[in-house]
Amino acid sequence: MRNAKPLPGSLVQRYHGWRATTFAENASWYRRLATEGQRPRTMVISCCDSRVHVTSIFGAEQGEFFIHRNIANLVPPYESDGARHGTSAAIEYAVTALRVSQIMILGHSLCGGVQGCEAMCSGHAPELESPDSFVGRWMDLLRPGWEKVRGIEDADERREALEKEAVLTSLDNLMTFPFVAAAVEAGDLALHGLWNDITQGGLEIYDASADRFVAL
């Protein structure tokens, strides 16, 4: 027998609450989304972190955001090797099938994945160097970012700089996807880099002309 359990009663109750209120009030819109298909304007790539829900920050309605969430909001570079690439599949679907108009990379403060990367790269987390470590191998994507910020003396500044490097890495890697680059160059797709300060509720956006993050 498969390993699967009933849902906690509090979640069952909450679901019924949602259905009787939010769903009921939006039923005709949901039905239209169902019959006509989704048509999101935006793809969001954000972190799994339970403290950063992009639908809350932007008051998103059903149907607006196509959302991929992974550890540290990272996009790997384009690799056409016939292997399995979950993040790349999400991007491909968003850009080529849904033809979203924008991709938002949303990083954040106090990111556990980024902290792991820093610990690994600075020699304090040998277990993350193991080939067996999924988190370690995933955070390898941010090693070049680490090289750029490792000289920053203040620990908090260095951490924040690395979190922002995760956003920039993803922006750069996005452009290695031929279909992304083509859509950006045709003016059909805009990329955005954002960083959320959990503590203060702040949001900074990467300003390409100034090459730095500025408060919204």
Instruction: Map the footprint of its own copies across residues 162-181, applying CB under 8 A.
Output: 168, 171-172, 175
Which of the residues 37 through 96 are near its own copies (CB under 8 A)? 37-41, 43, 48-51, 53, 55-71, 74, 76, 80-94
Q: How far apart are CA 26 and CA 13, in angstroms?
A: 19
Residue 84 vs 154, nearer CB to its own copies? 84
By the rule CB under 8 A, 27 interacts with its own copies: yes
Stretch that binds its own copies, among 117-125, 133-141, 145-153, 154-162 (CB under 8 A): 133-141
By the rule CB under 8 A, 119 interacts with its own copies: no
Q: How far apart are CA 215 and CA 207, in angstroms?
A: 10
Residue 158 vs 192, nearer CB to its own copies? 192
Residue 112 vs 147, nearer CB to its own copies? 112
By the rule CB under 8 A, 158 interacts with its own copies: no
DSSP label of 187: T
DSSP string, 82-149: SS--HHHHHHHIIIIIS--SEEEEEEETT-HHHHHHHHHHTTS-GGGGSTT-HHHHHHGGGHHHHHHH
- How wide is the angle at C-alpha 193 spanned by C-alphas 54 and 60, nearest 5°? 25
